[in-house]
Amino acid sequence: MPSLDDLRKRITSVKSTQKITKAMKMVAAAKLRKAQENAEKGRPYSEKMNNVILNLSKSITDKENAPKLLVGTGEEKVHLCIVLTADRGLCGGFNTNIIKKAKSYFEKIISENKTLKIITVGSKGYDQLKRQYKSYIVENISFKESKNINYFDADKVGKIIIEKFEKNEFDVCAIFYNKFKNVITQIPQEQQIVPLNEDKDDKDDSGNDNDYEFEPDEDEILSNLLPKNISTQIFKAMLENSASEQGSRMTAMDNATRNAGELVDRLTIEYNRSRQAAITKELIEIISGAESL
Amino acid sequence: MSNFFNIDIVNPEQSFLSKDNVFEVVIPAVEGEIGILKDHIPIISFLKPGIIRVFSESEEQSFYVEDGIVEFKDNTLSVLTSSIFDLKDADKNFVSESISSAEAELSNDNIDDQKRFLLNHKVEVLKSISIN
């Protein structure tokens, strides 16, 4: 049975923890709103970009000579995985969910005897993956210093990917991130960016073929556009990720605050009981002492 | 019938400009400037460093762009660019910095002709901005 003093100390300690989690929740809520806005603002760009590429790729007839970024190298031996995670913890299952998704993909690649290469973006992903997959990690990028998500950072990652592709260091590239659905739900996503996967859009509007005028020709525009598209996709993933991170942290901190509240209630009852018990004990002692006189 | 069409300029972070009352837009495409009026045929092209001029009913706006893609379709002109600013709020320091970084790149010998051409062009345009 803990003494009264111990109980009192525990109650204060839990209460101050509760204060911290509450503050973190509020900060996350404020940041979430901003992140959500940013994600929404960034959507038109990636949508338009997708549209243009779709229209372009439809008008390419000579699939053999099409840019490799679009159609692939024709092989599937080396897989490059970009794992986008947060730089900070205390956000529930946010990082773990991405890692879990990525790991199951890694296992598949390894069991098929293909070569795996990993780039981690965000320090938490690196921390979790380095134990098991250290030898596969080729690069580890973190944007801890930049306060906001900006396109410049995404472009840096994009350039690294392009550079590796041009050196023939990989055939297929996939990115892993959390898609923001709402505050409670974030869905870990796996998206292939090289070669571009577009089969699901194909059936949508196969009937309408726009006769675009291209200046210069399709190939040149595509080879200019595709590297940009990679950066754009990464940027989109980063935006979704940051909204998810804040949402996830908000829910996690909300739960923590509630748990702390319950704990305080329980400890207070225990404290009151044992205080009452001590008083009763003292009373009995006094009374029985008086009676014996 | 009006002679107006829509323009959407978006950069990765946000929608930069959206108007539905423009009658002419001049864009610096790689192979020369293109003037776009209503009912232009669908076109896709990309940009070189230069100035986009947007003529709308009430005003004329000019923007500096470094690169990007343009698409015109169904009387909507979409400009996708990662670097754009309004000439009116051009930052002198930023412009001169860009000029010097471009010039530094130009002094590098092992760049190809196309890049050299683009960089030269960029310096030219930026210089013309800083004079005004």
ipTM, 2 dp: 0.77
- Which helix (H) or strand (E) is A213 found in, with range? strand A213-215
Q: Which of residues 39-98 of A touch B (CB under 8 A)?
A: 41-42, 44-46, 48-49, 51-52, 55-56
Distance CA A1, CA A106 (A): 50
- List, in order, residues 6 or more apart from A180 with CB less than 8 Å away: A36, A39, A186, A240, A243, A244, A247
Distance CA A252, CA A24 (A): 10
Distance CA A141, CA A127 (A): 12
Q: Checking DSSP bridges between strand B43-47 and strand A213-215, what pairing results, if any?
A: parallel
Distance CA B42, CA B73 (A): 5
| Confidence check: pLDDT of A286 > 60 | yes
Would you state the pLDDT for residue A194? 81
CA B56 to chain centre: 16
Q: CB pairs below 8 Å between A and B: how many?
A: 76
pLDDT in tens, A74-123: 788 889 999 999 988 888 889 999 999 999 999 999 999 888 999 999 88
| Number of residues that this document lists for chain A | 293
* Closest listed residue to residue A93, CA positions, set A190, A184, A176: A184
> Mean pLDDT throughout A29-49?
88
Distance CA B125, CA B128 (A): 5
User: Could you tell me which chain A residue has the CA closest to the CA of B69?
Assistant: A225
- Binned at pLDDT 50, 70 and 90, residue B1 comes out as low
Domains recognised in chain A with CATH numbers: 4-20+253-292 (1.10.287.80), 22-201+208-252 (3.40.1380.10)
User: Token pair of B128, please?
Assistant: 């013309």
Would you state the pLDDT for residue A63? 65
- Binned at pLDDT 50, 70 and 90, residue A73 comes out as confident
Q: Which of A185-199, A248-262, B69-83 has the lowest mean pLDDT?
A: A185-199
Pairwise CB contact (< 8 Å): B14 & A41: yes
Query: H helices of A60-122, where?
Result: 68-71, 94-111
- List, in order, residues 6 or more apart from B41 with CB less than 8 Å away: A211, A213, B72
pLDDT in tens, A179-192: 888 888 889 989 88
Residue at A231: amino acid letter:
S
- Binned at pLDDT 50, 70 and 90, residue A61 comes out as low
| Confidence check: pLDDT of A201 > 50 | no
User: Is some CB atom of chain A closer than 8 A to the CB atom of B104?
Assistant: no
Would you state the pLDDT for residue A99? 93
Would you state the pLDDT for residue A202? 46
User: Could you tell me which chain A residue has the CA closest to the CA of B29?
Assistant: A215
- Binned at pLDDT 50, 70 and 90, residue B123 comes out as confident
User: Is some CB atom of chain A closer than 8 A to the CB atom of B78?
Assistant: yes
Q: Is the pTM of this model over 0.80?
A: yes
Q: Checking DSSP bridges between strand B68-73 and strand A115-121, what pairing results, if any?
A: unpaired
User: Token pair of A47, please?
Assistant: 């949508």
- Which residue among B8, B14, B71 places its CB closest to the CB of A52? B71
Helices and strands, number each (H, E), in chain A: 7, 6
User: Token pair of B58, please?
Assistant: 């009430």
User: Is some CB atom of chain A closer than 8 A to the CB atom of B44?
Assistant: yes
| Confidence check: pLDDT of B85 > 70 | yes
Would you state the pLDDT for residue B26? 92
User: Is some CB atom of chain A closer than 8 A to the CB atom of B93?
Assistant: no
Distance CA B68, CA B11 (A): 9
pLDDT in tens, A129-173: 998 888 899 888 888 877 778 888 888 899 899 899 888 888 899
- Binned at pLDDT 50, 70 and 90, residue A64 comes out as low
- Note whether B51 and B87 are within 8 A (CB): yes
Dihedral sign, CA of B84, B87, B91, B96?
positive
Residues of A within 8 A of B30 (CB-CB) are: 215-216
Answer yes or no: A81 catalytic: no
User: Is some CB atom of chain B closer than 8 A to the CB atom of A216?
Assistant: yes
Q: Which of A44-53, A249-258, B82-91 has the lowest mean pLDDT?
A: B82-91
Would you state the pLDDT for residue A290? 93
Interface with A, mutate which of B16, B44, B66, B79 (most A CBs under 10 A): B44
